[in-house]
Amino acid sequence: LRIVAFVGTLSACIKNTATAFVVPFPSAINTHKHVFPHCARDRHVCRAEFKNPTAGEESRKFRRDVFTYKDWVESRKPDRIYRKLGSTLNSGVVKGLGKELTIVAILSTMVIVWNSLLSGGWVDFSGVGHDPLIEGLPMIELPMNVFTLSSPALGLMLVFRTNTSYNRWAEARAKWGSIINHTRNIVRMGEAWCDPKLEPNPYIRAELLDNLSRAVWSFPRSLTRHLSDSEEDEEPFKQEVREKLKPERAEALIAARHRPCRSLHDISVAANAIPMPYMRRNKIDKSITVLIDDCGACERIFGSPVPLVYTRHTARFLYVWHLLLPFALWGAFDYSWNHIMLIPANVFISVFMFGIEE
């Protein structure tokens, strides 16, 4: 019975804490239904079923990748560069830049119209040159030195944002990994140290261990809900909690103002009920304390963005820099018909520069 209780409680804990890393389905999010179980086994199945997630804010719900061995093999194939280049137009980042790229293309076109058609003269399809439509209008150009001198500063600001974003992601992933490890430890210690001498009835011991495992499961699930949008996860959370916990505990957890703290309270109560020496119970309490620290760290990361004054200044710098760039690139494309190559060149540069900011 002890072995059966341990296997059941530990598998339940591991299985349910791992669901926080599953890539959610768009239909599951929109209809408040939970993800299908096979997503936890094969991430490519989920991607195959939903090939075109909405770009922009909605696509962030599909950027929760957890690699398996097959994913690492796929990511280091020799043709990975060609596959990544081939999927550029399907990139969620590129799709999310539609407005910015449209503005850049329109502005580049306006520069061509002003400097060629209106003020500098233009060439028709037969190669015959024509005078400008409006005599006396000045051509608008900027020296490239302005952008050469300012580009290192812009690059440093973008690099700082990129490094800061990765550090925040890495810390959040480390904290969530710590949560998984310590929830496993709590269940392991509870089962291993459940003393039959203090409680000889095996059915009572199994029930106490089951209560502990369910309380442990409720913490990462509550924290996931605490850090996500109510429209995305509230109904699935209520449904799962009512399925896995006893009615009184489920309703108390749902009604709690701070659900992760309520879950930690339930873990402490369940651990305290396990028949074991108090010195070993202190070991379990240390893991619970770590869970509290990890919860606070997740809330800190979630609630404290990169300083807004910095991100706003970087965005303004980048946008002004790119909107003025066509005026500096005008002379570089005098070999092309009416400087027409200015448009795709400026859009191409904008894709990657705005993509970093995005």
* pLDDT tens per residue, range 6-49: 334 444 443 444 333 333 333 333 333 333 333 433 444 444 44
Supply the DSSP symbol for 274.
S
The model's pLDDT over 44-68, given as tens digits with 9 standing for 90+, comes to 444 444 445 455 666 666 666 788 8
CB of 190 closer than 8 Å to CB of 271: yes
Kindly report the average pLDDT of the chain as a whole number: 83
0.85 cut: is pTM over it? no
- Range with the poorest average pLDDT among 116-125, 182-191, 324-333: 116-125
Q: What is the DSSP string of 134-194?
A: STTPPP----HHHHHHHHHHHHHHHHHHHHHHHHHHHHHHHHHHHHHHHHHHHHHHHHHT-
- Range with the poorest average pLDDT among 81-90, 275-284, 338-347: 81-90
Supply the DSSP symbol for 245.
S
Residue 216 neighbours by CB distance under 10 Å: 32
Q: What is the DSSP string of 47-81?
A: HHH---PPSGGGGGGG------HHHHHHHT-TTHH
pLDDT at 119: 87
CB of 78 closer than 8 Å to CB of 38: no
Residue type, 136: G
The model's pLDDT over 86-141, given as tens digits with 9 standing for 90+, comes to 888 888 788 888 889 999 999 999 999 999 888 888 888 888 888 888 888 888 89
Measured CA to CA, the distance from residue 178 to residue 172 in angstroms comes to: 10
Any residues with CB less than 8 A from the CB of 280 and at least 6 apart, and which? Answer: 189, 193
Measured CA to CA, the distance from residue 130 to residue 121 in angstroms comes to: 6
Measured CA to CA, the distance from residue 252 to residue 257 in angstroms comes to: 10
pLDDT higher than threshold 90 for residue 80:
no
CB of 220 closer than 8 Å to CB of 20: yes
Measured CA to CA, the distance from residue 345 to residue 328 in angstroms comes to: 12
pLDDT higher than threshold 50 for residue 200:
yes
Measured CA to CA, the distance from residue 229 to residue 227 in angstroms comes to: 7
